Amino acid sequence: MQFKYELIGTGWANGFIELNSQKIVFSPSYITDAFGGLLGGLTDLSNGEERVVTFLWEEEPHGLGWRLELQDSKELFLTITEYNDTLDYIKGKEGVTIVDATCNFLDFVKMVIKEADQILLRYGIVGYQNLWAEHEFPLSSYLQLKYFLMEADKISLQTKEKCEKKELKQELQFLIRNFNF
């Protein structure tokens, strides 16, 4: 299981995801909040708000439709479908399924957050927004997922409490503590 996401210029990212020998290379643009959509979807799943999340990564003119489904709070079903035109996704037309895989939910979140850590170290919060152009780094979702992973070993997913309001000082200390500068 591998995930790579990097900003390559103003409003463009490159990367790939590989699960169970299924791999897709992607190049989303700033039109959609690609990384924010992924982290936001994982946050919704982790705090029990949703069991299924979907979002679109626009690659101009084609796009990737993501579908994440959480089963039994442990298994994640991931489907990534390619559309020649993003209007096909919006209109509910069929695309070509590139990835249709199952994996452990915690392992998937850890993999994505590990890449998020690298993105923050590489670009910083302001640098990310300057390069991505239209969207800021999804800091709130990132922090909620970091807390989720920190607590995952202590309590089961089914009884996990949502990440509640924290003081800014506490959040900043948490961020600094989790990076080796």
Question: Torsion angle of alpha carbons 7, 10, 12, 14, nearest 10°?
Answer: -30
Residues of the chain with pLDDT under 70: 153-166, 178-181
Distance CA 181, CA 177 (A): 10
DSSP lists the bridge partners of residue 69 as: 52, 77
Kindly report the pTM of this predicted structure: 0.87
DSSP 155: S
pLDDT at 165: 59
pLDDT at 171: 76
Show the tokens assigned to 33: 């909040």
* Residue ranges of E strands in 84-152: 96-104
The CATH class that applies to domain 2-177 reads alpha beta
pLDDT at 152: 79
